[in-house]
Chain A
Amino acid sequence: MPFFGKSQKSPAELVKALKEALKALETLKAGGDKKAEKAQEDVSKNLVSIKNMLYGTSDSEPQTDIVVSQLAQELYNSNLLLLLIQNLNQIDFEGKKDVALVFNNVLRRQIGTRSPTVEYICTKPEILFTLMAGYEHQEIALNCGTMLRECARYEALAKIMLYSDEFFNFFQYVEVSTFDIASDAFSTFKELLTRHKILCAEFLETNYDKVFTHYQRLLNSENYVTRRQSLKLLGELLLDRHNFTVMTKYISNPDNLKLMMNMLREKSRNIQFEAFHVFKVFVANPNKPKPILEILLRNQDKLVDFLTRFHTERSEDEQFNDEKAYLIKQIKELKPIQTDGTSQSSQQQ
């Protein structure tokens, strides 16, 4: 096999050519003229060559590790990854996908236990923030999402994103009117909040108020999908044992309980069902704070009645039925708080 395969160009040459074409595209921008077209073609052509170097084609193998590591090194030195992302909307349809393929491949590259591209991006967090801002542009949002989720798999990168101010933009991105973008943003959002358990728990604990103030808005969204998805994720977050502290805090707040009781009665049965899985945590809590206990007591009979009739057609879902039976029993057995005020938490909203 020839050392540089069919591409004829060395990694250094390819990266240089791509960078030049990108620069040309960047300056010509508004164009539409011959020159801009030529630049765009050059960008696409070089991207395909780089992609083939990394992935191979149906008739050629991917390049050897040496070539790939040369390529990666060139990409770092030339700052090309950032440049590609910054100019992503100028690149044609297939080219955008190639950028994501190249980016993700280089990101996954390992030397022993090291991930050199992850280390590189840590020094260039702008790459991450540019990708996150990609959700603001319809024509590149999904491509950026593909790359972001690959980044989110690495704890170091997830940490940078989570602890950035830009992270809170996700609360807008997940609610944009275009469904594909909103739900792509939601899956990235979810990945960031769930992938690295300890990191996520720490983040949620230290930023509890800010996160849940924002989160409340998602739960009250006008958008059915946002409501349903965010409620489901809330349930998953609270039930993850790593998030014990966060859960305890969440289920101590009577406003949260009221919201869940409202959602139990939403028109949508899917939302009712997801709400059930959050509501059950409030009831199952062995140390219910006074305000929570009071709400449950005030509604004791109604809740028992309501739950008895709740989603009775789910007869095959054993776990659900067991849980429901448990909740009914718990609520039936609720006793008013003694007035001596011993160990009950008196946390207020």
Chain B
Amino acid sequence: MSTSPPARVPSSSQIPSNNSSSNLNESNQHQQQSQAAWPSTPNDYELNEIIGVGATACVHSAFCKPRNEKCAIKRINLEKWNTSMDELLKEIQAMSSCNHENVVTYHTSFVVGEELWLILRLLEGGSLLDIIKHRMRKTDCRHGVFDEATIATVLKEVLKGLEYFHSNGQIHRDIKAGNILLGDDGTVQIADFGVSAWLATGRDMSRQKVRHTFVGTPCWMAPEVMEQDHGYDFKADIWSFGITAIEMASGTAPYHKYPPMKVLLLTLQNDPPNLDTGADDKDQYKAYGKTFRKMIMECLQKDPAKRPTASELLKHPFFKKAKDKKYLTQTLLPTGPSMKTRVNKAAKRQPGTSGRLHRTTSGDWVWSSEDEDNNGKNSSDSEEEGKPKPLNQIEHADSSDEEESEPSTTTTTDPTAALDVTNKLTVVEDDFRVVNLVLRMRNSNRELNDIRFEYAVGKDTADGIASELVGAGLVDNNDVIVMATNLQKLIDQRITIKTVTFQLSNSGGETPDEKSLIGFAQISITD
């Protein structure tokens, strides 16, 4: 597994193999050609530019010197990783138990200081979402982002990955364009196992116990996952796959305009969405044919039992339109952002732009950003350097006479040691003073809303929180800067001012009025 080089069998995607077992065998054969194992020391790798930034991690493009091979390195800051380490192990186990052309290729992982480095195959094309967004900026996508052949080609690869995944007893739980990566050669891989789950623990793989945890991203989430009454199974991924199909055509998930809570309501109460759900005009997406629409409809059935399996979907007539991956190198990849653009974007990307809605044990719905604990955009190195050198020694020995002679490493003779510790703790206390805030503004229905949130001084950033609010669908994307600026102002001057009011980019067609908060928003300190 960890020794297998990335599979490159260009012909494989041309074989119309809809049969599951043949797909699985196909992947086995890539195994054999192994060379030196992937090393587990940081010095064997050259870290290059950052190509992605997440909450507790950033992804570098990198080069493995002994193997003379490019790779991607995901650096996870374990100090910021507050979930149990077991969750992390599960994610890695899920990845390492996969060996398939369409599932992200995991090479190895090791600990470097307080970071965990995951060595993965480098997919130069970036995510499908990056490509969609870039294309929407550069060309007129009003009548659709990609043609059917491109969509079919990409989605067929995704399905093959899903089929493998499911046959492995795993559910991905977060299928969306943002989690589909593209290689320079047109390879399509499903990535981000952060929330994937194992079902196959019981006796019977095909009829497993169902899962009862609530994870995923609301717009892509199947109704039964939201409801949580009866649990869910592999079919939840098929729903998300259907939403992803819409995303590839229209550029966004159907309910992307709404805040998470609203998405839940719409998904549960309305008929399943379709290609035209998010459209401005009825005829906007008329270029897409019946077969495509029918495929989407089959995936988006509220009763999971009625949705086809990944294997069944692969036989759907729509995927007859699929071409090989070379086709993608001609149609899809040239329209995506260059590596350089993405690198710049990654560096600028704000924390909080993506997140997950989940239900707590008490039954409350909470939105948690993937970037929650991120207080800086880049890796932890820079921050750590700034801090005073930590002490690994403690004071008890310095007050104990008989222990001074011990060659123990625990002994320190530095009389300032104890003082330093105290200083450090004071800083921490000051650093993380939490300010309780309320943002009052009108929602899309022009009703006044109070959004309460916390700001941990020294830990949160105004930019981060502003993007989090945008990410949660609570604040318009155009207002991210004004929101951040005013939040920053309030935090900086919190001793003297307790509230800020500022104008927003959109007043919903009415005359802006500061007093009644039409086209204005207000942030106040509540404590």
Q: Are B111 and A224 in contact (CB under 8 A)?
A: yes
Contact residue among A93, A305, A309 (Cβ-Cβ distance under 8 Å from B99): A93
- A69-113: which have CB < 8 Å to B? 92-94, 97, 101, 105, 108
Q: Is A225 part of the contact surface with B, judged by Cβ < 8 Å? A: yes
Interface contact A305-B422, CB-CB below 8 Å: yes
Expressed in whole angstroms, the Cα–Cα distance for A177 and B43 within the complex equals 13
Min CB gap B124→A, angstroms: 25
State the Cβ distance, A299 to closest chain B Cβ, in Å: 5
Could you tell me if B425 and A306 are in contact, using CB atoms closer than 8 angstroms? Answer: yes
Complex Cα distance, B391 from A93, in Å, reads 46
- Let me know if B78 and A225 touch, CB within 8 A: yes
Residue in contact with A92 in the complex, picked from B31, B204, B397, B418, CB distance below 8 Å: B31
List the A side residues contacting B40 at CB < 8 Å. 177-179
Contacts of A54 in B (CB 8 A): 203
B396 CB within 8 Å of chain A: yes
Q: In whole angstroms, how far apart are the Cα atoms of A83 and B490 in the complex?
A: 69
A44–B24 Cα distance when bound, in Å, is 12
List the B side residues contacting A223 at CB < 8 Å: 111
Residue interface mask A256-274, B partner, CB < 8 A = 1: 0011011011111110000
Option from A138, A266, A269 in Cβ contact (under 8 Å) with B392: A266
Q: Which residue of B lies closest to A225 (CB)?
A: B111
**A194 near B: Cβ within 8 Å?**
no
> Is the pair A225, B85 in contact by a Cβ cutoff of 8 Å?
yes
Would you call B203 and A183 a contact (CB within 8 A)? no
Contact mask for chain B residues 81-115; partner A; CB cutoff 8 A; 1 contact, 0 none? 00001101100110011010000000011110110
- Residues facing A in B433-470 (CB within 8 A) are 434, 456
Contact of A177 among B41, B93, B428 (CB under 8 A): B41
How many residues on the B side are at the interface (Cβ–Cβ under 8 A)? Answer: 59
> B27, B86, B205, B410: which contacts A258 (Cβ < 8 A)?
B410
A298:B394 contact, CB within 8 angstroms? no
Instruction: Give Cα A312–Cα B431 distance, bound, in whole angstroms.
Output: 11
The minimal Cβ–Cβ distance linking A108 to chain B, given in whole angstroms, is 7
Q: A44-B28, A306-B422 are in contact. Are A298 and B111 (CB under 8 A)?
A: no
Q: Are B24 and A298 in contact (CB under 8 A)?
A: no
Q: Are A298's CB and B93's CB within 8 A? A: no
A142 engages B93 (CB within 8 Å) = yes
**Cβ of B421 and Cβ of A265 under 8 Å apart?**
yes
Contacts A56-B205, A258-B410, A309-B426 given; indicate if A139 touches B3 (C-beta within 8 A): yes
B432 touches A179 (CB 8 A): no
Bound-complex Cα distance A310 to B432 (A): 13
Give the contacting residue for A56; candidates B79, B89, B204; CB below 8 A: B204
A217 close to B (CB within 8 Å): no
State whether A187 and B89 are in contact (beta carbons under 8 Å apart), knowing that A306-B421, A313-B432 are contacts in the complex.
Answer: yes
A299 near B399 with CB under 8 A, answer yes
Q: Which residue of A lies closest to B311 (CB)?
A: A58
Complex interface: chain A residues within 8 A of B110 (CB): 177-179
Docked complex Cα distance between A259 and B311 (Å): 56
Distance of A264 Cα from B426 Cα, bound (Å): 15
Q: Is A198 an interface residue (CB 8 A)?
A: no
Out of A55, A229, A259, which one reaches B205, CB within 8 Å?
A55
**Does residue A57 face the partner (Cβ distance < 8 Å to B)?**
yes
B429 is an interface residue with CB less than 8 A from chain A: yes
Q: Mark A220-256, 1 if CB is under 8 A from B, else 0.
A: 0001110011000000000000000000000000000
Given A142-B93, A224-B78, A183 contacting B85 (CB threshold 8 A): yes
Provide the residues of chain A in CB contact with B28, threshold 8 Å. 44, 92-94
Contact B429 A55 (CB under 8 A): no
Residues of A within 8 A of B3 (CB): 139
What A residues does B41 contact at CB under 8 A?
Answer: 177
Minimal Cβ-Cβ distance residue in B for A57:
B206
B85: chain A residues within 8 A (beta carbon) = 183, 225, 228-229
A270 touches B99 (CB 8 A): no
- B21-56 contact mask (Cβ, 8 Å, vs A): 1 or 0: 000100110011000010011000000000000000
Chain B 52-94 near chain A by CB (<8 Å), digits 1 or 0: 0000000000000000000000000011000001101100110
Number of A-B contacts (CB under 8 A): 138
Within 8 A of B (CB), among A297-325: 298-299, 302, 305-306, 309-310, 312-313, 315
- Contact A187 to B392, CB < 8 A, known contacts A55-B205, A142-B93, A313-B432: no
Indicate if the CB atoms of B396 and A261 lie closer than 8 Å.
yes
Q: A58-B309, A313-B429 are in contact. Are A97 and B206 (CB under 8 A)?
A: no
Residues of B within 8 A of A302 (CB): 395, 418
B393 at the A/B interface (Cβ < 8 Å)? yes
The yes or no answer to B1 lying at the interface (CB within 8 A) is yes
Q: Are B2 and A139 in contact (CB under 8 A)?
A: yes
Give chain B nearest CB distance to A11 CB in angstroms.
17
Which residues of chain B have C-beta atoms less than 8 A from A94's C-beta?
A: 24, 27-28, 99
A180 in the interface, Cβ–Cβ < 8 Å? yes
B93 partner, pick from A184, A261, A306, beta carbons under 8 A: A184
Contacts of A315 in B (CB 8 A): 434
The CB with the most chain B CB atoms within 10 A, among A94, A259, A302, is that of: A94
Residues of chain A within 8 A (CB-CB) of B428 are: 309, 312-313
Q: Does A284 contact B (CB under 8 A)?
A: no
Does chain B have a CB within 8 A of A62?
A: yes
Which residue in A32, A56, A270, A309 is a CB contact (below 8 Å) of B422? A309
**B390: Cβ under 8 A from any A Cβ:** yes
What are the residues of chain B within 8 A of A298 when measuring CB–CB?
396, 399-400
Cβ of A295 under 8 Å from chain B: yes
Q: Which of B386-425 contact A (CB under 8 A)?
A: 390-397, 399-400, 410, 418, 421-422, 425
For residue B323, give the distance in angstroms from its CB to the closest CB of chain A: 28
The answer on a CB contact under 8 Å between B418 and A187 is: no
> What is the bound-complex CA distance between A318 and B152, given in angstroms?
53
The residue on B at minimum CB distance from A260 is: B394
- Neighbouring A residues of B456 by C-beta, 8 Å: 313
In the bound assembly, the distance between CA atoms of A295 and B396 in angstroms comes to 7
At the interface, yes or no: B149 with Cβ under 8 Å from chain A? no
> Would A299 and B113 be within 8 Å (CB), given that A58-B311, A93-B28, A97-B97 are in contact?
no
Whether B297 sits at the interface, judged by CB under 8 Å, is: no
Bound CA–CA A105/B204 (angstroms): 9
7 closest cross-chain pairs (CB), A and B: A267-B390, A309-B425, A179-B109, A177-B40, A313-B432, A262-B394, A183-B89
A-B contacts, 15 of them at CB < 8 A, read A92-B31, A93-B1, A93-B4, A93-B28, A93-B31, A97-B97, A108-B203, A225-B78, A225-B85, A228-B85, A262-B394, A265-B391, A306-B422, A306-B425, A310-B425
Residues of B within 8 A of A (CB): 1-4, 24, 27-28, 31-32, 37, 40-41, 78-79, 85-86, 88-89, 92-93, 96-97, 99, 108-111, 113-114, 116, 168, 200, 203-206, 309, 311, 390-397, 399-400, 410, 418, 421-422, 425-426, 428-429, 432, 434, 456
Question: A58-B311, A270-B79 known; 11 other A-B pairs, CB under 8 Å?
Answer: A55-B203, A101-B200, A177-B41, A178-B108, A180-B89, A180-B92, A180-B96, A183-B85, A184-B93, A310-B425, A315-B434
